[in-house]
Amino acid sequence: MVNNIFRKNSGKYNIFRKYNIFRKNIGKILVNIIYFYILYKPCFCNYLRNL
């Protein structure tokens, strides 16, 4: 009985952990996109002007 309850809880915890990792990864991706945009936007604008 106790083992069963523990197993159910650990299952919920696993889902929560996966969701947390997923959220952290999305955060990293967003930060990378913003960083890339800030870093390369001036170059891109110059490139368009030179065309």
pLDDT of 12-30, one tens digit each? 667 677 777 777 888 888 8
What percentage of residues in the chain have a pLDDT greater than 90? 0
Four-point Cα dihedral 42, 45, 49, 51, nearest 10: 120
pLDDT class of 7 with cuts at 50, 70, 90: low
| Percent of the chain that is helix, strand, coil (3-state, to 5) | 95, 0, 5
| Spatial separation of the C-alpha atoms in residues 29 and 19, rounded to whole Å | 15
- For 45, the token pair is 């604008």
| Spatial separation of the C-alpha atoms in residues 13 and 10, rounded to whole Å | 5
